[in-house]
Structures are given as structure tokens and as C-alpha cells.
Structure 1
Amino acid sequence: MTQLLTPGDGPGPPTGAEAAGSPLQTVAPGDVFAALDTSPRGLGAADAVTRRDRYGPNELPRAGRRGVWRQLAAQFTDLFAIVLLVASAITFLAYVLQQPPDAGTFRLAVAILAVVVLNASIGFAQEYSAERTAQSLQAMVPHTCRVLRDGERREVPARELVPGDVVVLEAGDAVSADCRLVEAHEVSVNNAALTGESDAVGRTGDAEAAGPLLEARNCVFMGTDVVAGTAKAVVFATGPATEFGRIFRLASAAPGQKTPLQLQVASMARRVAGVALAIGAALFAVRVPTGQPFVETFVFALGVMVALVPEGLPATLSVSLAIGVRRMARRHALVKKLLAVEALGSTTVVCTDKTGTLTQAEMTVTQVWAGGASHPVSGVGYAPVGEVTDPLAVRELLRAAALCSNARLVPPLAADQSGSRAGHRSWRVLGDTTEGALLVAAEKAGIDPAAEEDAAPRVAENPFDSVRKMMSTVHRSRDSGTYHAYVKGAPQELLARCTGIDWKGERRALTDELRAEVVAANDELASQGLRVLAAAWRPVSGSDVTQDEAESGLTLLGLLGMLDPPRPEVSAAVDACRQAGIRIVMVTGDHPLTAEAVARRVDIVRQAAPTVVTGASLDSMDDDALDGLLAGPAELLLCRVSPEHKMRVVTAFQRRGEVVAVTGDGANDAPALKHADIGVAMGASGTDVAREAAVMVLLDDSFASIATAVRLGRSVYQNIRKFLIYLFSHNIAELVPILAATFVGFPLVPITAVQILAIDLGSDVLPALALGAEPPEPDVMDRPPRSRRERLFSAGVMGRILFLGGIQALGVCVVFFWHIHAAGIPYSRFTEDDAVYREAITMVQAGIVVSQFFNALAVRTERQSVFRIGLLSNPWLLAAGCFGLGLMAAISYLPALQAVFHTAPLAAADWAVLAGFGALLLAAEETRKWWLRSHRPGARKGAGR
């Protein structure tokens, strides 16, 4: 721990919890005020202002976001963008050097620049929109809190709290800063957001021995909730200096990880750019010695380079990923970074939290035992929806439990109107979550707790304490004027104070046989992983009855078993992930027995004895031992872990080559969420720190959305491969005619760079996007995860590119040279303005566009016939192809576009020839698929797999 700054020290927020050289938790309650330079009356108004100026506001710093202009500028740092920017600049320079200047060179330079701007605009629009959608309010810190200022209780904005403030806490309050308790009356705190444990933890104002600050029972921390009792506490740390702030800084320092697709696209860009530059340079070196003009030859080589660079790929990739983002958003999964969509498809390990991720984070009564019979209770969570089997038989038990409770159920509308926690659209509990579960069970049995309290108002209370492990209340009946004590607590303790038992509506003496039956029922409920409470009652003489009298000679009413229920959809999601070859490891701050019970309910654990490792055991392991642990049994539970442990586990998995997704909702999960390949935060129940660190937010907090996201992510990767085959195959058709013309001595290019850009952006992007919107294949979740080392351009993908591209190249070369030779003019007499030459290059451009229409249909499947899935099953693809054909017709027939592209009108016979070559391509691909199905039935499915 570090020294707490007090007034008089240097500026800056406090960074620890020591006072006068001693840990603050060891200081006696009466000495805390002096240690923090305050008083029981709190700070004065002037002193509070001075400290606020010194320490700053009590809020966590917003994560730094790049400005709009920086985000836009980042779009121009893509390697393809850099190559094209350089090409555009060189082309402008060539235009200036030409004598006389060639308008075609100028148009080429402008076209290349326009391509870069268009790609950057699309990419920026998609990412900016996703980030804007993902921004959330800082809801973990409440807006106001109660403090003592000059001895008076006041409500002040939480951001104005300063060290030395005396705060007043009650059940239902959220803690606004790190505080040392000086008074505590039966206080319990839910630390789930900070430690991952959903159970309420008792707190005291007494001094304690030195130890870890988070384990100090006389301290409460920012971001946690008071679930029971009242207290006074003195603030010792605010904002970034709190434990919550420490985790926030840890998460901020964790470096972001590049996704597999980012790495592969970057590698592909480097290789394609290198090949394009090499071929362009080689052609320039070949043509210059032949006497061709230097500048024109350079522009020719530049055109070849442009032909090889897939100009439309960045835009296509961004928009295709955005389609995946929108699909996931419809499934309640918000993806903040486009590339994370694909990375989900390669996930091999999911490290999942328990509370709020696999479970509801809402205690629920599921079994009621009374009179020798068990009564199941349906429904989960705090919404009083469900029913109790045979409610009349357990009415008195549930009525007593509800009366002996201090919690309060708050409906959704009341929660929103109160303003205390804006954005809560579900039932919630003010007070102890266990008592809240009892109230919900009572309402399911048709009991109105408020009406029962009105009919029998409370006149005395003996609060729960950890020694006797029970609580009792005394009530006076308005009708009869009689007094009754109701008691609830641990079954073993309560049973020892009972002399009778309510057995099917009548009181019986609690014999040894009946006592043994109660013990057996308790053991049965406990073996199911349930937390068990017992409830009892007795008549008393009046409101001044002593605690011993109220809690002795009791009549046992029955037992109540409750749990933090798993989400109902989790088991199916776990099975889907297991079927997809994804390993699920529970990483939680909770108790091992609780974690194992939940893991069994959701099928994460199926074996009799899974491997359970605690954080303390992880501390004793070196990296080699940890690697051995993670490489061992599939069913692994990591319990009682800290944020540092989670980060270490994620790093160890990544060191083994795994693609790791981490789920969580608490601030304690944030470092691991950011460090993982895919951080998945809960949107409804999660903290802002967790949502900020994650790249994906589950808006409905449903773990099942992870399985859906993996399915969509795998589909995105498959679709990316489809449109890569589609895009790169026609690059071959653009390059081969140029190379052929060079080597046969034809002085002009068969297709110009401006025509190539028109194909790449005008005729290819929309069909590629339609391919990116193909639905997932039925067996996509039956395949193992893709290896991190698997290349985007595998041998299978390259084979299809060469096969389809070769057919297209052959077709356009035939139509070009056939048209040139049919004119009967020597090569040397052709000029750019020659009508035959313009018709020939128009044939080449139209031939590529037509063949790509058929190519788009061909690449939709790897093995299955496109006729089997239906030519009309993707109407967007047909519409995009027709748009490309229409654009090509406009370039061929409209005079304005003829002037730009140097094209000429084509005859109907020309279109028929081109359509014949396109049909030949589709027939060849269908033949290949038929051969693959017939001769390699066991081959792995999927492009390049």
C-alpha cells in the first residue's frame, strides 16, 4: 500500500489506505477521523471545496478516444491505400512531364485517388458508426450520495466526494468511493462487480489486523452495493485512486490484440503489393528497350500494377464485416470493432465468468420443503412470475419468511421513476438478495408481503448476526391483538431451538424421527447446490420480549432452497460450443463448490471429478506449470481468482496458440476482457469498465449469443474467402491480356487502368458484398475451430482463383485478339483512337464483367451445386450482377462514358459470344464440384479447407 495523501501533501488524488504509517483497516474507529483529517461532523463546506480542487472529481477518466479526424486519417494507413496514393501521385507527375499532357493519364490519377477516398470513407463510416453505437453512460457510480457536511446530512453529487467526507450508507445504496467504516449495524455488501462473488459479505466498523485491503471487513469500495444494514464511513480514496480505479488502469494498460484476420489481411496486402510492384517494374524494364516512350511506358507499367491491386477489397471487407455486425446486433450482440466479427469464428477457448454471465445474478427460491413434502417453485430472477406447487401447504412458511425480511422488491416502472438507477428495466431488490428471493417466492404463492405487513406490523427486531446465524422479528396482529415471533436462519442453528414442527397444518412435537427427516431434507437440498434457510414461529407475550425468548421454543415451518440460477439458454449454448470444438473454462472469483455446482447445471462439467484450481494455487505455479495445467483436462474450473490471475491465464492460452474469448460483467473482468482476442461484456448487468474494455457487448446478457456470434463469425470468414476468390480471379483476367499483348508485340494495352478501376469498383464491389451476405452453411458449427496459423489464401483458395481466373483470362484473350485479327490491320498501325481497337478493349472489359456475373454464382459453394441451393436464393447477388451489366452497357453505349473510357458500342452478337464464355466458366466449375463430390466424398468442406 502507498501513503494516503492528506491536506498539506502535494496535489493529486490519494493512492492508498495508510495513515500515520499504519494500514487504515488497523486503526480504531474513533481514530479514523483524525487519521483522515476530518471529524464525526464531516467536512466543512470550504474544506470540501479545497479538497475537491486538490484531488479532482470522484470519477473514472474516460477512455481516450481518437478524434474524428484521426479516425479518418487512420483509414489512409492501410497498405493498399498507401500503394494507391503513391501510384496516384506518380501518375500526376507523369501527366505533368508528358508533352503534350495526356488527359487519359490525368483521369487515371484522379480515378486512383477517388478509389482511395471512397475506400477510406466507407471504412470510416462503418467504424465510427459502430463506436458511436457502443458508447455507454458511466452507470456504475451513482449520481448522488448522502454525506455529513458541518454536521448536517446532505445529498451531493457523487463526483463531488473527497477524502475525509463522512458518508451515510443504507441498504440499497451503491458505494461511491473507497471508505473505511466507523459505524456498522448488520451491514452486508455485494462485491460482485469488484470480486466476482455474488454472495453478500458482512462488514464491521471494528479495527482489523493488517492484510490485503480488499479482504478488510471494515472497508467498502466504489462500485459495490450495500444489501443490508446501515453504516457511517469515511472516504479515503476517490476516482482513479480507488480499487475500482486500479482495475480500470490495469485494463487501460493492457495492449489490444490483433485479430487473425487483421494479421492475414496485412500479410496478404504486403504480398500483393510486392507482386504488383515487381511485375510492373519487370514490364517497364521489358518495354523501355523496345523504343516505347519513357513516360507512356511508365504509365503502362503503372496500369499493370493497378490491375493487380484489388482496389475494392478494403471497402468490400469493411462493409461485409459491417453486415456481420448488423446481423449480430439483431441477435443482441453489439460488436464495437468490425474485425472482431471474424475473430469470433476462429475462437478456440472461451474463458467465462459465472455471476451475471452463466447465472442470472439474482437469487431465486427453487424448492420449498414443508410437512415432509417438497414443493418446486417455477420462474427465475426477481420478477414474481411463476408458481409454487401446492401453495396452500407452504403459505405459513412463506408468509413467515416474508415478514422476517427487510428487503424490498422494486418493479421496473418504479425503478425508472426513482432516478436512482436510470436504465433498469427489470425487477430488482433493495436490500439483501436472499431476502429478496423470499419475497418473490411469497408473491408466487399468492401472498402480498405489503398487505401481510399491514395486517401484522412489526414491533420489534433482532437483526441477523454471524454468531447465532438467524434473524427474528415480532409482529402484532391487528385483528386479534396477539403477538408472534418469526425467525429465519441457518437450518442447523434454527432446528436446535425448535420444539415442534408444523406438519401438514397441525403442530407436532419435534421427535428424533422428525428431526432426522428435517436434517435429511436439508442435506438433499444442499447436495443440489442450493443455499438453505429454515423458518419458524412462536407466540410471544408482547413487543418487549427478549431475544432469547423470541428465538426459543419455536415451531419449525419448513425449509427454503435457493440458488443464483443459471440462464436457461446457457446449456444449449455450451453444447453448441462443445460441438464446434470450443473449450469452455470457467474463471470466477467465487467459491469452488459454488462454481462447480453452476458448471454442472450448464453442462460445462460432466465428469465426476473436474480439475478445480484456486487463485492461491495459480500463484505457486510458474509459466511451465500453468501451461501444463491448461494443456491438461478439458474440464477446468479456476476459482477465487484475481484480475491479474485472469490476465495470466488468457496470456498462457494465447502462448499456446489459442484464440481466446473472455466473457464477464464486473470491473474485475475488464483487464482480461481487453487482453483477450475477443472480450465479451454483458450489456445490461455489466459495468461500464467491462463494456469499455470489451470489443463485443451482449445487449441481452445471454451467453447463448456467444454461440450465435461464433456461428456468424465463422460464416463471415467463409464469405470473405468467397469474395476473395471472386475478386482475385478477375485480376488474372485483367493481367493476362496485358502480358500477352506485351509478349506478342502489340503496342497498346488490351484494357486500360481506368477500365480496370471501373470493373473493380463499379462491377465487383456489389456482388462481392452480396457474397459477404450469404447465410451460414448448415454444418458450420460441426467443424473444428480454424487454426490461428491457417492462411487466408490456402492452397484450395489459390487453386480456385487460378482455375476460375484462368478460364476468364482465356476467354478475354480470345475475344480481344480475334477482334484485332479480324480487322486485318498490322499491329504497328493501331492507335488509341482506332475504332477496332476501342471495340476490342470494350470486348475485354465487357467479357470480364459478364464472366464475373457467372463467377459470382459459381463461388457461392465449394462442393454443392449452385443449382441445388437455387440460383434465386440470393436475390441481392443477382441484383448486384445485373447492376454491373447495366453499368457496362452504359460504358459501351453512352457517348459521355465512351469518351472517358475510350470504349465503343458492342453488337448483339458480341454480347452473345461473351455470355457463351461466361456459361462455359459456370459449367467448368460445376464439373469440378461434381468431380469433387464423386471422387473425394470424404474431403473436408469449405473453400480451401
Structure 2
Amino acid sequence: MPVDTGLLRPGDAPGPGAPPPADRSEVQTLPPSAVVAGLDSSASGLPDTEVVSRTVRFGANELPRAARRAPWRQLASQFTDLFAVVLMVASAITFLAWRLQDPRDVGTLQLAVAILGVVLLNAGIGFFQEYAAERTAESLQAMVPHACRVLRDGERREVPVRELVPGDVVLLEAGDAVPADCRLVEAYDLSVNNAALTGESDAVARTAEAVAAGPVLQARNFVFMGTDVVVGSAKAVVCATGGATEFGRIFHLAASAPRQRTPLQRQVAVMARRVAVAALATGAVLFAVRLPTGQSLVSSFVFALGVMVALVPEGLPATLSVSLAVGVRRMARRHALVKKLLAVEALGSTTVVCTDKTGTLTQAEMTVVQVWAGGGTHAVSGVGYAPEGEVSGNGQVHGLLRGAALCCDARLVPPSDRQGWRVLGDTTEGALLVAAAKAGLDAASSRAAAPRTAEYPFDPVRKMMSVVCTDSGDDHRAYVKGAPQELLSRCADIDWQGSSRPLTGETRGAVATAIDELAAQGLRVLGVAARTVSGPRPAQDETENGLTLLGLVGMLDPPRPEVSAAVTACRSAGIRIAMVTGDHPLTAEAMARRVGIVREPHPTVVTGDRLDAMEDADLDRLLASSGELLLCRVSPEHKMRVVTAFQRRGEVVAVTGDGANDAPALKHADIGVAMGASGTDVAREAAVMVLLDDSFASIAVAVRLGRSVYQNIRKFLVYLFSHNIAELVPILAATFVGFPLVPISAVQILAIDLGSDVLPALALGTEPPEPDVMDRPPRSRSERLFSTDVVQRFLFLGTIQALGVCAVFFWRVNSAGIPYSAFTADNPVYREAITMTQAGIVVSQFFNALAVRTERQSVLRVGLFSNPALLAAGGLGIGLMAAISYAPPLQAVFHTAPLSAADWALLVCLGLLLLVAEEMRKWWLRHRKSSVREGAHR
């Protein structure tokens, strides 16, 4: 009779998220043979009809979505930004001043409304960017595959995790994330990491045997959603899914945790505080300076307010959000999913990439091309996973390929309408199955004839995997495959030309020579061995020692065609590439030469054994050398140690990985890069970036785009603060020369910020990478947004703009031929002069936007018209300025006057002067750089 595990029965209320059953502890007391029946399942898994029925009753196997802030709360949060608070206070004070005026000046009311309008615009842009970013993140996460292996109707299948139902029979292997709460029925050397539930990161052993009743979380025969398989393999039956799991209980705590700000966001917040304080302090000082001159309290306040508004870069929060969002979306289009904004920032300063070989540099479609057995080499024809080809002398390699096929957990999947032949499981094992099929062996029939009774899964320390099968009646035979050197050390005999003979020094030398010859061709080499054992479940030590070597298998994983260009790009960008692989040194070097990582005749090749013998100081000296570096036959501990050593030297390290054993290095690296297609769930969870196509070329693209994002942020900082100088300097100049009126009013400044500032800045945030962005060294990790280069550049451009604007204002004022004290706000010449000031800033900002598009390259080289959004935004700003100058209703609001064609021509000349000056500065930078290079080559 089935145990009541809390599974819903017909007539129960359906729906996901039911609480976990209180009596699930009864399941842990059942022997493995009774678990399947106790959980209303079967040894062959659930039939499809029952899966559909249970899906309706239990819902999808997914955790409840984290509660989103209501849209109105998201919108309200936009008004807590420091710039927004400063402007809202200014608007409120201005409105109060208008209420206290007698008579009331409509211009003061217009100013209060205009300031509030800027706040509302920024809030709207920020809200829509955040809202869109959330949906973008959800859609991008959905692109990362989350699947698990199950038995259904007696077939091994791969299904999406969300489609699991209670009663499903799940197959688990090292590197898998446990997809639901499950009771084990078979476990082979299984250990799991329960850190997500218990906080303890050490692997804990699991068993399929019955345990005493007690708390489910302490049951050693259960595995839980959110935990990871570290070592071994298992078969388990699902007993709870989704919100009914133990992890579902605590998930909402993590989902509701506050989002941490990145260093970039913190830098911007610090800058905002400093700018706000500077604006308030400057406004207060000038307010105090003007009061003793006889100006009214309100007019002095409006003057000081204009200074404050001129210093506040109102468009900065919105442009920052847009630039980061555009960068993340661009990376996603190029198959790089960035999970944290921190990765966008760090990518621009990456100095070292520690890359795996298989799958990242190669196509991850292993193909056996040579087999060494009985002292001879046999060619294997055909490529890819289609079992089309033949093995020369297949009679001599029959035992070798049969043993290799029996020692595989992967499955060869026939082609379907959507895709061709593929492998479900490890690609290396897939290649062995294909080679066996080419030799006329049917893997399924072989497994049926020799059922497996025990298994010792692969782990990176032993570097081998072994299985025990019932073979030839009641005999029990072990089959082992793994790294050839490690396997050879455990062999006592060799299958030599059809008979078994002891492994002498001569034959060992012949095997070692064969290994080196295969590896020198760039082939990955596996050894296969076997022995008869004493029973169906012998000890591991008996299983993997005293072996008979059956032979060697050489397989090739061809490099991806796009990798060579990506490696060259990284070299040009000053990024060092170190290959870190578990493969044979000769195999690794051959592949590294094919893709361009190695060009020197004698690269530095370091094995795991040599790393073990090194002190940290020796490793530091090794990494300090500028030579090409290959790390071979390394374990996860070695990989972690190398990453730490690079970071100790101040390097910014990106690390690629796909297995569970790569997770520590991925987490510890500055940029952990996981494989999205072939990687394990554990690796993808540990990484901050996921390559959806598994290609190294996507890393190079992501670095290029990451550098571009940071550059674009610097560009619009230069753009915003240079025009702030142009707004502030005329006001200060008028104060010091004794002119009684402001050269530009606060309402005009807001019109500039609102109409001709924000949109071009947003367009700069979408600027594509500069042509030479990958020809520059990585930026320093300690470099700040407001670096010396940024400050010098906006001071240079801002000074030119300010001088031009002051010149046209005082030129027009002096053309009236009357003393400064005689000017009033209604004087036609004064209105023309302030119109020239506003138009001068708008026009010069258009040319400034073109100038800051590049940092060193001439804008003519990238093309004046290559960013149509920027041209449209600038044209819209100039059009709005023309409307302010000519439209009577707007003239009344801004106190402006119509400009002549000659006035516009003069302003365009000033803008061109700015562009020419910036082009000359860039030319000087390029000339100085080339001179330094020439000096270095002498």
C-alpha cells in the first residue's frame, strides 16, 4: 500500500505551491525496492498520460516568482534620486516665492513648473528603463537551458525542469542541480552540496538505503531542490516540486532581499552628492553676493537658482540607466548573458582570461579518429555524431570499443525534424558510442547483455570512471576508462595482438610513445582497461587496480572557426590568455597553436604535478613572466590556485568553465564565464556571465562591448558637464563685471536641459564601440569615472563653449551703446543677447555631441552620420531653440527675441570652432602615442 506522502488524490484541490507533506519522513524509512511503489511511480518512470494528469494537479515545477514592486512604487522611487530631491525643493521654494510676490510675476511660476517638468521627465525615463530592464532580464534568463534527465515510459529523456511532477524518476550526475525534492533509490558514490539549504558548503554523502524516521532535511537518502551533485550519480523519485519543496519554503526570503548596488552605481551616487553640494553652495554664495547690491530678495534667489540648476546634470541618472541597459542587451544579442551589472563594469578592465579548451575553443563535437590497440594504430573515418564511417581492422579493436561503450552513461540520440544526430550526456562518451557503432557494435544491446551492477563515477582527482557488469554468464567484469597516464599506472597486463601479456618496461614504453604520438597530433587521448572482479559490487580499489590495458582512443574536437580572430583581438587589447585544461600537454599545445594562443616555439607548459610542487612565491614568479602559458592536467584546486595567484598580482581575471568542479574558480574570479549550452547548472549559477553559444569569441565580443559601455558613460559625463560650464560661466562673468541681469535665466537653462541635453546624452549611450577599442590596454582597476582625462576633457570643451557664449552675449549687449546699469529685462537688445546665449549653448552642444563620440579617433573616421539617433536628437534640440526664438507664445515664456540668419551663422561658426579644437586635441593624442611607440621600438 502506498505511503501517504502528500501527493494529491483525485478530488483534492489542485494547484502548485502546496506545503510539503508533514509525513514525508515515512518515505525515508522505506527500503529502495519499496520507494517507487510508495511514491505512486514505477521503475520505468511515469507514462506520458500520467505526467499530463499530475501537471494539472500539481502545477509547474518552479518556485514562486519574487514579488515585484508595484509599478506605482517603481515610479515613486524615481523621485528619491538626489538630483530629483534638489530640484523638487527648488521648485517648491520657487513656487512659494511666486506666492509671496506682490505683484506676482508669471515668470517665477513658469520657472517652478519648468523645474518640476525636468524632474517628471527624468522620472518617466528612469521608470520605463527599469521596467523594461526587468522584463529583459526575465526573457534573457529564459534563454539559458534548465533541463534534467528522467525515465518516462522506460525511455531516458531530457525534459525542462519545470515539467517535472511528483513520481518522476530522475537521473542525476556530477554537476547537475537537483531539480526537485527526491528520494534516492540508487546511489553510486554520491555526494551533494547542501549549501543553499544548510549554509554548509562541504559535500555530504548520500545513500539509497533506508534511514530512521526523523527530520527530512537530515535524511541521508533525500536530495533537495537547490542543491548540487558534486560527485557520483544516482536515480531518485520526485516527491515534491515547486513551492512544496524544502527550498520553496525559504526561497521567498532570498527573493525579497534588497538589490545591492554595483561599484559603478556607488561612484555615481558619490558624484551626485558632491555635485549637489557644490551647486547648493555656489548658489548660496552668489545669493549672498547679490543681496547687498540692491537686488530684491526674489530676484537674487532666482539668480542663485539659475546657478544651481546650471550645475546639476539632470539627465545623468536617465542616461546612465540607458547606457547600461543598452550594453546588456547588445551583449545578449551577441550570445553573452550578463547576470550582474558589475560584470559590465569589470569586463572593460579584464587583463587575463583563463580559458578551458573543450567546448570553448572547440566545437564540443568529439570525434574518434584513431584507435591504438594491440601495438597498432587503426583509423576511424567519419566526423561528428552521425554513426557513419568505419574502423579499420575493427576485429582487433572490438573488445576495446565494447569496453568503452559499456563504460559510458551518455546516449546517442537519432536525428529528428529539428536537429541531427546528437549526444545526450558527455560529448567524449558520445564519441566513443559513435566509434563503437562504426565498428558494428550496438551499445544498447551490449548493455542489455552485460547489465551494470556497480559504478564508480569520474572525478577529477582519479581522472577515470569505472563500471562493473555481469558479463559472460555469472562472471563480473570491470571496465575502466580515463586519462591514459593514470590508467597505465594501474595496469599489470596489456591486450597485445589478441592475447594478454604482462606489462613490461618495453611495452610500457611503447604505450607511452603511442600516447605522445596521438597527443602530438592534437588528439585527446583516453585509455580503456578491464579486469575480472570477485563480485557484483567490488571495492573501488579492487575495481581500478590490476587492470589489463585494452588500448587507447584518440579523438579530435575541431576548433571553432571564429576563435582565432577572437584570440587575436584579445591580444591586441592587451589581454593575456592562459589555457587551463585537464588534457595532455601535447594535445593542449597543438590546439593552442591552431587558434593562436601559442605562437612562440617553446611556451611555458605547467602540469598539475608541477603546480603541486610549487610554493606560492614560485607560482607568482611564473605568472609574472610575459611568456605564453599552458596549464595542463590540472584539477579544480589547481585552477582556483592559479586564479588567486593572478589576482594577487593585481590582474582582473575572467575564467571559463562548464563543470561543477569549475564552480569555485568561477565564483572567485572577477568575471566567471559559464557555458550556457553545454555547462552544468552549478557552473551557470556560480558565474556572472553565461555564453549562450559556448564560444570563446563571445568573450572577446563581451569585452569589446564592456569597454564600450564604460566609454559611453565617460562620453556623456564629458558632454553633460562641459555644457554645465557653458551655462555657469556667463552668469559668473555677468556678476563680476557688474551687469545687473543674468545672461541666461533658470527657465532657459531648464529648456536646454530638457530639450537639447537629455536626448543627445541618451543617444551617446547607444554609441557603438570605437574602431580601436580593442587596440588599447585594459583600463586600470583603480580608475574612477571622474578620471583626470575626463575632467581635463570637459574643462577643455566647457571652456571653449563658455568663452564663445560669453563673447556673443557681451558683443550683443555692447552693441546697444548704453551703460550696463541702464539695462532692464524688457530691453530688446538684452532679450536678443540672452537668446544668443541660449542658442549658442544649444548649437555648440550639437557640435560637442559629435566631438565626444570618440576619445582619440577622428569623428570623420567613424562617420558623422553613423549615429542617426544623435543627429536626430541634436536636430530636435536646435528646432526647439528656433521655436523659442520665433514663436510669440514661447518668446513670452522665455523672454527671447528672434535671431537673424547672420546670428545663426555666427553660432554655427562657434560650434565648428569647438569641433575643430577637439579634433586637433585628438590628433595631438594620436601623434604623441605614435611617437611613444616609435621610441619604444628603437
- TM-score by length of structure 1 reads 0.70
The alpha-carbon deviation at position 747 of structure 1 amounts to: 2.5
Match of 1:33 in 2: 29
Q: Select 1:325's aligned residue among 328, 338, 346.
A: 328
Match of 1:709 in 2: 702
> Match of 1:898, SS?
helix
Checking the alignment, whether the CA contact within 8 Å between 1:681 and 1:690 is kept in structure 2 is yes
Are residues 227 and 256 of structure 1, via their aligned partners in 2, closer, same or farther at CA, if it must alter by over 3 Å? closer
Distance (whole Å) between structure 1 residues aligned to residue 579 and residue 240 of structure 2: 32
Alignment of 1:532 with 2:532, yes or no, is no
Within 5 Å, give how 1:219-368 maps onto structure 2. 258-336=261-339, 340-350=343-353, 364-368=367-371
Checking the alignment, whether the CA contact within 8 Å between 2:230 and 2:661 is kept in structure 1 is no
The alpha-carbon deviation at position 765 of structure 1 amounts to: 3.1
Q: Select 1:845's aligned residue among 838, 847, 856.
A: 838
> Match of 1:286, SS?
helix
Checking the alignment, whether the CA contact within 8 Å between 1:251 and 1:672 is kept in structure 2 is no
Q: Select 2:433's aligned residue among 432, 439, 459.
A: 439
| C-alpha distance after superposition, 1:514-548 (max 9, x if no partner) | 99866753564478783525599xxxxxxxxxxxx
Are residues 497 and 701 of structure 1, via their aligned partners in 2, closer, same or farther at CA, if it must alter by over 3 Å? closer
> Match of 1:852, SS?
helix
Structure 2 letter corresponding to 1:440: V
| C-alpha distance after superposition, 1:772-792 (max 9, x if no partner) | 444433432333321232232
Structure 1 letter corresponding to 2:604: Q
Match of 2:918 in 1: 925
Match of 2:135 in 1: 132
Within 5 Å, give how 1:407-418 maps onto structure 2. 408-411=411-414, 413=416
Distance (whole Å) between structure 2 residues aligned to residue 355 and residue 243 of structure 1: 36
Are residues 913 and 499 of structure 1, via their aligned partners in 2, closer, same or farther at CA, if it must alter by over 3 Å? closer
Alignment of 1:818 with 2:814, yes or no, is no
The alpha-carbon deviation at position 733 of structure 1 amounts to: 1.3
Q: Select 1:373's aligned residue among 371, 377, 380.
A: 377
Distance (whole Å) between structure 2 residues aligned to residue 776 and residue 665 of structure 1: 29
Distance (whole Å) between structure 2 residues aligned to residue 399 and residue 326 of structure 1: 52
> Match of 1:436, SS?
helix
Within 5 Å, give how 1:758-777 maps onto structure 2. 758-777=751-770
Are residues 175 and 743 of structure 1, via their aligned partners in 2, closer, same or farther at CA, if it must alter by over 3 Å? closer
Structure 1 letter corresponding to 2:379: H
The alpha-carbon deviation at position 718 of structure 1 amounts to: 2.4
Match of 2:605 in 1: 608
Q: Select 2:122's aligned residue among 119, 122, 131.
A: 119
Distance (whole Å) between structure 2 residues aligned to residue 766 and residue 378 of structure 1: 57
| C-alpha distance after superposition, 1:117-147 (max 9, x if no partner) | 3223323323332332222459647598789
The alpha-carbon deviation at position 222 of structure 1 amounts to: 5.7
Distance (whole Å) between structure 1 residues aligned to residue 85 and residue 121 of structure 2: 14
Q: Select 1:460's aligned residue among 435, 438, 449.
A: 449
The alpha-carbon deviation at position 12 of structure 1 amounts to: 9.3
- Deviates most, 703-712 or 822-831: 822-831
Are residues 727 and 182 of structure 1, via their aligned partners in 2, closer, same or farther at CA, if it must alter by over 3 Å? closer
Checking the alignment, whether the CA contact within 8 Å between 1:363 and 1:434 is kept in structure 2 is yes
Match of 1:788 in 2: 781
Structure 2 letter corresponding to 1:91: T
Distance (whole Å) between structure 1 residues aligned to residue 94 and residue 222 of structure 2: 69
- Deviates most, 565-574 or 848-857: 565-574
Match of 1:755 in 2: 748
The alpha-carbon deviation at position 431 of structure 1 amounts to: 6.6
Match of 2:714 in 1: 721
> Match of 2:314, SS?
coil
Checking the alignment, whether the CA contact within 8 Å between 1:14 and 1:236 is kept in structure 2 is no
| C-alpha distance after superposition, 1:151-185 (max 9, x if no partner) | xxxxx998775xxx99686999996557675556x
Match of 1:109 in 2: 112
Structure 2 letter corresponding to 1:276: A
Distance (whole Å) between structure 2 residues aligned to residue 920 and residue 431 of structure 1: 65
Distance (whole Å) between structure 1 residues aligned to residue 415 and residue 133 of structure 2: 29
Match of 2:739 in 1: 746
The alpha-carbon deviation at position 301 of structure 1 amounts to: 0.8
Structure 2 letter corresponding to 1:373: T
- Deviates most, 66-75 or 782-791: 66-75
The alpha-carbon deviation at position 307 of structure 1 amounts to: 0.6
Q: Select 2:87's aligned residue among 84, 87, 92.
A: 84
Are residues 582 and 226 of structure 1, via their aligned partners in 2, closer, same or farther at CA, if it must alter by over 3 Å? closer
| C-alpha distance after superposition, 1:877-928 (max 9, x if no partner) | 4443333222221221122322332222111121122222223323333444
Checking the alignment, whether the CA contact within 8 Å between 1:58 and 1:160 is kept in structure 2 is yes
Distance (whole Å) between structure 2 residues aligned to residue 535 and residue 639 of structure 1: 23
Structure 1 letter corresponding to 2:791: M
Distance (whole Å) between structure 1 residues aligned to residue 334 and residue 880 of structure 2: 36
Are residues 564 and 188 of structure 1, via their aligned partners in 2, closer, same or farther at CA, if it must alter by over 3 Å? farther
Are residues 291 and 599 of structure 1, via their aligned partners in 2, closer, same or farther at CA, if it must alter by over 3 Å? farther
Are residues 36 and 320 of structure 1, via their aligned partners in 2, closer, same or farther at CA, if it must alter by over 3 Å? same
> Match of 1:720, SS?
helix
Checking the alignment, whether the CA contact within 8 Å between 2:186 and 2:236 is kept in structure 1 is yes
Structure 1 letter corresponding to 2:386: P
Alignment of 1:880 with 2:873, yes or no, is yes
- Deviates most, 903-912 or 818-827: 818-827
Match of 2:461 in 1: none
The alpha-carbon deviation at position 283 of structure 1 amounts to: 0.6
Are residues 795 and 534 of structure 1, via their aligned partners in 2, closer, same or farther at CA, if it must alter by over 3 Å? closer
Alignment of 1:42 with 2:38, yes or no, is yes
Identity of aligned residues (%): 66
Checking the alignment, whether the CA contact within 8 Å between 1:145 and 1:158 is kept in structure 2 is no
Distance (whole Å) between structure 1 residues aligned to residue 478 and residue 792 of structure 2: 77
Checking the alignment, whether the CA contact within 8 Å between 1:734 and 1:809 is kept in structure 2 is yes
Are residues 641 and 88 of structure 1, via their aligned partners in 2, closer, same or farther at CA, if it must alter by over 3 Å? farther
> Match of 1:823, SS?
coil
Distance (whole Å) between structure 2 residues aligned to residue 273 and residue 654 of structure 1: 37
Are residues 219 and 436 of structure 1, via their aligned partners in 2, closer, same or farther at CA, if it must alter by over 3 Å? farther
Q: Select 2:724's aligned residue among 709, 731, 737.
A: 731
| C-alpha distance after superposition, 1:217-276 (max 9, x if no partner) | 998776899999997658899989999999999998999775443243223222222221
The alpha-carbon deviation at position 106 of structure 1 amounts to: 2.4
Aligned-CA RMSD value: 6.1
| C-alpha distance after superposition, 1:719-757 (max 9, x if no partner) | 332332222222111111111222233232111122112
> Match of 1:608, SS?
strand
Q: Select 2:907's aligned residue among 893, 914, 921.
A: 914
Alignment of 1:809 with 2:806, yes or no, is no
> Match of 2:450, SS?
strand
Distance (whole Å) between structure 1 residues aligned to residue 284 and residue 908 of structure 2: 35
The alpha-carbon deviation at position 345 of structure 1 amounts to: 0.7
Match of 1:859 in 2: 852
Checking the alignment, whether the CA contact within 8 Å between 2:181 and 2:240 is kept in structure 1 is yes
Are residues 903 and 668 of structure 1, via their aligned partners in 2, closer, same or farther at CA, if it must alter by over 3 Å? farther
Structure 1 letter corresponding to 2:449: A
Distance (whole Å) between structure 2 residues aligned to residue 666 and residue 228 of structure 1: 11
Checking the alignment, whether the CA contact within 8 Å between 2:370 and 2:377 is kept in structure 1 is no
- TM-score by length of structure 2 reads 0.71
| C-alpha distance after superposition, 1:359-390 (max 9, x if no partner) | 7777653533468335366756xx439x86x7
Match of 2:827 in 1: 834
> Match of 1:127, SS?
helix
Distance (whole Å) between structure 2 residues aligned to residue 372 and residue 246 of structure 1: 60
The alpha-carbon deviation at position 304 of structure 1 amounts to: 0.9
Distance (whole Å) between structure 1 residues aligned to residue 322 and residue 907 of structure 2: 30
Checking the alignment, whether the CA contact within 8 Å between 1:141 and 1:222 is kept in structure 2 is no
Are residues 676 and 93 of structure 1, via their aligned partners in 2, closer, same or farther at CA, if it must alter by over 3 Å? farther
